[in-house]
Structure 1
Amino acid sequence: MDIKQLKPAVVERNQYGFWNHPEWNNYFETQLKNTESFSTEQIDELHRYFNIETARVYFESDADSNLFNRFYENQEYGAVLEWQPSKPDQDLSWFLTSILENSQGDVVAIWAKPKKLYRYEIDAEEERQAFERNFVECGGSLAYLEWNECDDEYGTYQPDWEAIQEAEIDDHEFDEMIMDRADRTTICLMAWLECAKSKTIPKGYVLVPSEPTDRQRHALAELLHSTNDHLAIYKALVATAQW
């Protein structure tokens, strides 16, 4: 099957709080016949077909204690309806594909985001340092924040509780403010990184002028007299591009 890029849809949950993306639901009905277990190959094909990667967020670990108790102790499905699932990380491109109760009784939100067709080469650490310089110059504050490095570029800013303790700040409102600042600063950084990627040339590609340069025209004239190899001509034009 050809790739059909999955895109966000309006989330309209039922009375129990569950929902399926229409195209996602159609794929399961027509291609997987609504079976409850899938092979690794079937999941890989699902990801390939929709050009996405997915992640799960579980009600059990994501919902607050009130919603957790209402659902698991009192069997109130209204608690699921009130649950607003968190995104898997700070990447803004995540969108919901399903909120369901699986065969094990777990309530889970399935998130998806478009899979990058190209690998973009940026230095995440260098970009973060540039972001912080710009952020402070524009009036932002990184006071009492620390960077929490993850396995990928999507780390997060967190309150520097040790620095706060050393400053002898013991104020609940301050704690709430600094946690909110950490979240907002992380979101700003993620937007900065996405902009940096949009300006980056995908690996395996090069930047060439929209019109041939004099150097390219000269090289082309010489090549047309010596070869009919179109690939060689193309490579020579790329190699002689003036940046």
Structure 2
Amino acid sequence: MINSKPVESAEKLGCDASPSECAIQAVPVERDEHGFWTHPQYPHFWDEGTTSSEINAWFSARGLQSQVTEYEYDAPDDLQAIWMETGTPACSLWQPTEPSGSGWFIFSLHDTERGPVCVWVRQKPLSDEKEAR
């Protein structure tokens, strides 16, 4: 579930290195008036040109796996109706469905060309690490 507490900076999370070198962990999510939020360690260099392969490699290098929940396929019908009527997604009311399994936390709630998404991440399960070897 998403809570509403202030987001801590990487420095306050006990990391002396740059945010990209810190272990990425869950932090409290405080959504803006549009319902969006981004983890303080979200890569500032990602943009529309960043490929899925690059994103997956970045997560993998940090021992994480990710999964995306799309507003279009996840938001309830009443929120979908608001989006269709106004052209503006009702993201502040959307509670993205957490992927199955344990340990997932929100890394970003943001808009894309295809509509809003929620990026979930978690530490790679031990079974994935064994399979990768």
TM-score by structure 1 length?
Answer: 0.41
Provide the aligned length of Structure 1 versus Structure 2: 112
User: Per-residue deviation at 1:8?
Assistant: 0.5
The structure that is helix-richer by fraction is 1
Structure 2 residue corresponding to 1:18, chosen from 36, 42, 62: 36
Match of 1:68 among 70, 80, 87: 80
1:49 is aligned to 2:61: yes
Residue 106 (structure 2) aligned to one of 84, 92, 96:
96
Alignment of 1:17-36 (within 5 A): 17-24=35-42, 28-29=43-44, 33-36=45-48
Match of 1:110 in 2: 119
Task: Provide the alpha-carbon RMSD of the alignment.
Answer: 2.6
Match of 1:58 in 2: 70
Q: Distance in 2 between matches of 1:49 and 1:35?
A: 19
Residue 5 of structure 1 contacts residue 49 of structure 1 at CA under 8 Å; is this kept in 2? Answer: no
Q: How does 1:84-233 map to 2 (within 5 A)?
A: 84-89=95-100, 91-104=101-114, 106-116=115-125, 118-119=126-127
Residues 119 and 34 of structure 1, relative CA distance in 2, 3 Å threshold? closer
Unpaired segments of 5 or more residues in structure 1? 121-201, 204-243
Which of these two proteins has the greater Rg computed from alpha carbons? 1
Partner of 1:80: 91
CA contact (8 A) 1:95 1:111 kept: yes
Structure 2 unaligned spans of 5+: 1-19
Structure 1 Cα separation of the partners of residues 88 and 56 of structure 2: 35
Letter paired with 1:95:
F
Considering Cα pairs closer than 8 Å and 6+ residues apart, tell me whether 1 or 2 has the greater RCO: 2
Q: Percent identity?
A: 23
Structure 2 Cα separation of the partners of residues 41 and 15 of structure 1 = 31
SS at match of 1:103: coil
Give the counterpart letter for 1:119 in structure 2: S
Whether the 8 Å contact between 1:96 and 1:112 is mirrored in structure 2 is yes
Tell me if the contact between 1:18 and 1:99 (Cα under 8 Å) persists in the aligned partners: yes
Paired with 1:40 and 1:66, the residues of 2 have a C-alpha distance of 31
Give the Å deviation of 1:103.
Answer: 2.2
2 CA distance for matches of 1:107 and 1:41?
20
1:66 and 1:76 mapped to 2: Cα distance? 13
Supply the distance in 2 between the matched residues of 1:119 and 1:22 (Cα, whole angstroms): 28
